[in-house]
Amino acid sequence: MEPVKLAEGIFAVGVTDWNIRDFHGYSTYEGTTYNAYLILDEKITLIDTVKASFSDQLLANISAIVDPRKIDYMISNHTEMDHSSGLPRVMHRIGEDKPLFCSKMGEKNLSKHYPQKWNYKAVENGETLSLGKRSVTFMETRMLHWPDSMFTYVNEDKLLFSSDAFGQHYAGPEKFDDQMGDDIFPHAKKYFANILMPYAPLILKLVDKVTEMGLQIDTICPDHGIIWRKDPAKIIKTYVKWSKMEPTRKALVVYDTMWHSTEAMAEVIAGALTEEGVNAKPIHLRKCHRSNIITEVLDAGAILVGSPTLNNGLFPTVADFLVYMKGLKPQNKISAPFGSYGWSGESVKLITKELEEMKFDIIDPGVRLQYRPDAEGLAACATLGKKIAQALPEE
Ligand code: FEO
């Protein structure tokens, strides 16, 4: 990615990772970017770095604008290594003694990642740093999504460096929202669902706080994907909507299957939901990546989970999905389990336990069928689908 001018003296200097397809378990079929930003002022400032393997490219992008050795300040908004593992190379180049601004937790966490004794300057929430003609204000955003996370706001340009928030794993020729239109929103939704969903209550509080402060934001520069300059309010409003997780008339019937019995049940349940006007679909866990399913979970009102019993337990992909979903803390879901079995048949009980732990509203004990589903068993599945449909809100 070539440097891109964002405002007078402010540039995006990050890199594009065209070929990444798995980001710690999240499918990134369209690659991603690691964004970093350069401010030219009396104090030349770099905000965030990139993955270590892209450090030379970052330095080359900076060099196209200014000699990296002239950088005065380094700001680290977030310790996760897609943004910080470039620090050793960058600090070595710009000067190991240059001030490195981060949150207090950032100093602790960076010290636990890198042995170098950098010149840390831990900042307070709300602290302002003058760069010369401009100043930046730091906003702690603890647990959005690491304890060290913070935003950096450029007061004069009304420009927010938002770290992971408002990001998307997307690599393309476009750099700005106005170049892409609403096509960027599915990528932003997937990012929100897989990275930020557990922190939805904190996002609502943060948006309230920023609104109370009357902070004007003309541009949002996240650390992944495109920059929001045409309509930053739209992604903020959409974050509020996603964070509320208000139930919709949409149902997911997520399952795996060994000899197509649980699959037949899933299809009948989904069919009955569809007949009742619900946006429903069966989702086979070995045909669809968990991170794509979670994107659908975000705005679904109902999640039904089905598994065969394998060796007295859940089918492994179902266990994987339940663990992943539980960690992401989706809210306001109605639910029911289902499954087939040969002799012991523990799967429905095990799914129920997980759904209870997720605080889903289990509106039916579910359907549990032995070996091949017969007509009576499939009718029970249809009844389950109709019961779920009746419990979902009308639109
Ligand atoms: Fe893009 Fe939390 O790192």
Does 3.40.50.360 match the CATH number of domain 251-389? Answer: yes
Task: Label residue 314 exposed, middle or buried (CB < 10 Å: 0-12, 13-18, 19+).
Answer: buried
Residue 51, ligand 1, Cβ within 6 A:
no
**311 alpha carbon – ligand 1 mean position (Å):** 38
Q: Round to whole Å and give the CA distance between 34 and 15.
A: 5
Residue 17, ligand 1, Cβ within 6 A:
no
Residue 83, ligand 1, Cβ within 6 A:
yes
Res 139: pLDDT? 96
Residue 78, ligand 1, Cβ within 6 A:
yes
Res 171: pLDDT? 97
Domain boundaries, the chain: 4-243, 251-389
Does 3.20.20.80 match the CATH number of domain 4-243? Answer: no
Res 395: pLDDT? 80
Nearest atom of ligand 1 to the alpha carbon of 223:
1
Res 54: pLDDT? 98
Res 2: pLDDT? 77
Q: Which residues are catalytic?
A: 24, 78, 80, 82, 145, 164, 191, 224
Res 262: pLDDT? 98
Nearest atom of ligand 1 to the alpha carbon of 167:
1
74: closest CA among 52, 106, 32, 26?
Answer: 106
Running along the chain, 395 residues long, what does each successive block of 10 average in pLDDT?
91 98 96 98 98 98 98 98 98 98 98 98 97 97 95 97 98 96 97 98 94 94 98 97 97 98 98 98 98 98 98 98 98 98 97 98 98 98 98 92
C-beta separation of 177 from 231 below 8 A: yes
Q: Round to whole Å and give the CA distance between 33 and 20.
A: 10
Res 17: pLDDT? 98
Nearest atom of ligand 1 to the alpha carbon of 195:
2
Give the helix, strand, coil percentages of the chain, each rounded to 5: 40, 25, 35
Nearest CA to ligand 1 atom 3: 80
**223 alpha carbon – ligand 1 mean position (Å):** 8
Res 193: pLDDT? 98
Residue 250, ligand 1, Cβ within 6 A:
no
**164 alpha carbon – ligand 1 mean position (Å):** 5
**188 alpha carbon – ligand 1 mean position (Å):** 14
Residue 229, ligand 1, Cβ within 6 A:
no
Nearest CA to ligand 1 atom 1: 164
Res 144: pLDDT? 93
Q: Residue 76 in 3-state DSSP?
A: coil
Residue 194 DSSP symbol: I
Res 218: pLDDT? 98
